[in-house]
Amino acid sequence: MLARAAVALAVIAALATALWLYARAWAPSRSDYPVQGVSVSADTGPVDWGTLSAQGADFAYIRASKGADLRDPAFAANWAGARRAGMRYGAVLDFSLCRLAVDQATRFITTVPRDNAALPPVIRLAFDPSCIARPGRDTVLSELNTLVNLVESHMGKPAVINVTRDFDERYDIGAGINRTLWLDGNFFPPDYASRPWVMWTATDMRHIDGVDGPVRWNVVAP
């Protein structure tokens, strides 16, 4: 009996390891989603942009700022590295419910140079465990509209809204902000939000040559 239990546990462990390795390497089929890319920040560690580009990343979104206080310390190096590698690149602002839109826009604008070659800027909406504020929907939408207008004025192109499921379920961003939507959903295309998505974070577990840590791997709707 003990021998059988040991064999069963070994089989389960082998299957779990195989699934974990598969998840680390998985990306959607190129035949379904021809354009695919990556999101990086200081949290993912140093990036070898030439290697990353050779691995099939068509574009990169690079975190520039978080709220009104954090300028991503790797932003300048990542921005320049993506350009040198010949990749398309864009900047991300992580929105905070705990800071005013004007202050967050100021941090982003003083971090990201205006660049006609850059992709549309992204405003990411996700609950931050360090911020417990949950303002009403009207307040949030008003602040977001202010932020969108300021960011767009600086960058010279419409913003993209990357919203998580729980944030959208609370504030119905898809119905309140008329901008291109980027949604999240590991392994399965997302079905939340009141409008169709144009970009999808297919996995936040992918490990790829050129980056130390796991990256968010994104696809564009065909």
Confidence of residue 13 (pLDDT cuts 50, 70, 90): very low
Confidence of residue 163 (pLDDT cuts 50, 70, 90): very high
pLDDT for 136-160, tens place per residue?
A: 999 999 999 999 999 999 999 999 9
Q: Percentage of residues in the chain with pLDDT exceeding 90? A: 86
Architecture of the 2-220 domain = Alpha-Beta Barrel (3.20)
Ordered by start, the domain boundaries in the chain are 2-220
Q: Is the pTM of this model over 0.85?
A: yes
Give the pLDDT of residue 3. Answer: 55
Alpha carbon distance 218, 196 (integer Å): 16
Alpha carbon distance 49, 60 (integer Å): 10
CA distances from 196 to 21, 100, 184 (A): 31, 29, 12
pLDDT for 197-215, tens place per residue?
A: 999 999 999 999 999 889 9
Residues with Cβ within 8 Å of 42's Cβ and at least 6 positions away in sequence, in order, are 63, 72, 73, 74, 75
pLDDT above 80 (res 12)? no
Per the prediction, the chain carries an average pLDDT of: 91
